Amino acid sequence: MRVFNFAAGPATLPTEVLEQARDELLDWHGAGMSVMEVSHRSKAFVGVARQAEQDLRELLGVPDTYRVLFLQGGATAQFAAVPMNLASRGAVADYINTGQWSKKAIAEARAYLDVQVIADEKHSNYSTVPARESLGFTPGAAYLHYTPNETIGGVEFPYAPDPGETPLVADMSSTILSRPVDVGRYALIYAGAQKNIGPSGLTLVIVRDDLLGTAREGTPSVLDYKAMADAGSMLNTPPTFGWYMAGLVFQWLKRQGGLAVMAERNRAKAQRLYQAIDGSSFYANPVDPGCRSWMNIPFTLARPELEASFLEEARAHGLANLEGHRSVGGMRASLYNAMPMAGVDALVAFMSEFERRHG
């Protein structure tokens, strides 16, 4: 039996997509073999790859002046690839620190350039984002990097920073495709696939044309945006199964009605869970209400000694992977696109029943 899987990543995928993959697993499009067993250079696979890009471009409204890359190495490889491609040694880049993923991006970037942390939300224990008007940018910075949604802290920007001429770079790993986004505001967007796109092993990069071809000497070719763009992301063997699965998810999103429809659903799902948390004295969410994530909702129990029983009983109710990140503890429910409202309803009902027995 399939459970409601609230994991932060690898995360739940649409059942319809998994069923389609299952149905065509042994004999993919009449090939007599699975999609994992065909050449990435075959006409059939290249067709799948190009269709996936086309569907993604349509869903996100990616302008023609941007390249879409299907890479490997996760978002973590991009922590290094971004400075290697967009800045020369000794250049300055601005970073906003809103929590654990920002911190990792900053730590990695320090090896490649001079990182200026222009805002750090430590003062609120990373339960806030900086006010838009408080941001001061470094003149001439190579780029500004930020994390629109902090997957661990459950903190999300309600706005996109506007650094003027400075290229804006976003780690959208845990928010991409959850709602419409104005791609034209960004110089570069990257995202690991395993939250809202497909299986792990695939990383999306959406990068503006004029930023290609400036990689510093010594950049590995698989991390060089221009080399990868020129090769259609097939400079070496791409993660073919992940690319295929991402394509099925993009088609599923189109069948749902696109990102405006997903935004409505995601907002409603998050609202339902926050209401349940705020309406109880047993559960609490530490994040400033102005920047609470739609995707990742951490919460604590008034009696932390009950966490283990909460998780065990939730699992028995078909509600899986509700434990918080190992670094923070507590609980966390991730409500990506593939989590239906029925899953949130089941969680809210369980929480209320658990509180009645233990509160």
Ligand X SMILES: *Cc1c(COP(=O)(O)O)cnc(C)c1O
Write out the catalytic residue numbers: 101, 171, 195
Interacting stretch for ligand X, rule CB under 6 A, among 68-76, 160-168, 259-267, 280-288?
68-76
CB of 249 to ligand X, least distance (A): 16
Do 145 and 171 contact (CB within 8 A), yes or no? yes
Both tokens of residue 102? 């920002």
Comparison of 83 and 301: residue with beta carbon closer to ligand X:
83
Comparison of 28 and 240: residue with beta carbon closer to ligand X:
240
Residues facing 69 on adjacent strands: 205
* 178 interacts with ligand X by CB under 6 A: no
Residues 75-94, mask of contacts with ligand X (x by CB under 6 A): xx------------------
* 34 interacts with ligand X by CB under 6 A: no
CB of 286 to ligand X, least distance (A): 18
Region 301-340 residues binding ligand X, contact defined as CB under 6 A: none
Do 52 and 247 contact (CB within 8 A), yes or no? yes
Of positions 5, 98, 174, 233, contacts ligand X by CB under 6 A: 174
Residues 128-167, mask of contacts with ligand X (x by CB under 6 A): -------------------x---x----------------
Could you give the residue ranges of the DSSP H alpha helices within 73-224? 74-86, 100-109
Comparison of 38 and 150: residue with beta carbon closer to ligand X:
150
* 74 interacts with ligand X by CB under 6 A: yes
CA gap 224, 84 in Å, rounded:
8
Interacting stretch for ligand X, rule CB under 6 A, among 73-81, 137-145, 224-232, 263-271?
73-81
Could you give the residue ranges of the DSSP H alpha helices within the chain? 15-23, 43-60, 74-86, 100-109, 225-230, 240-256, 259-278, 307-316, 341-358
CB of 176 to ligand X, least distance (A): 10
Do 145 and 166 contact (CB within 8 A), yes or no? no
Both tokens of residue 3? 């459970």
CA gap 348, 149 in Å, rounded:
23
User: Whose structure tokens read 């309406």?
Assistant: 279
Comparison of 178 and 310: residue with beta carbon closer to ligand X:
178
CA gap 81, 75 in Å, rounded:
9
CB of 41 to ligand X, least distance (A): 26
- Size of the residue set binding ligand X (CB under 6 A): 12
Is the bond preceding residue 148 a cis peptide, omega within 30 degrees? no
Region 190-219 residues binding ligand X, contact defined as CB under 6 A: 192, 195
The C-alpha angle 53, 185, 216, rounded to 5 degrees, equals 75
- Closest residue to ligand X in the complex (CB): 74
Comparison of 173 and 266: residue with beta carbon closer to ligand X:
173
Comparison of 154 and 192: residue with beta carbon closer to ligand X:
192
Alpha-carbon dihedral sign for residues 57, 60, 66, 71: negative
Where do contacts with ligand X occur on this chain (CB under 6 A)? Answer: 9, 74-76, 101, 147, 151, 171, 173-174, 192, 195
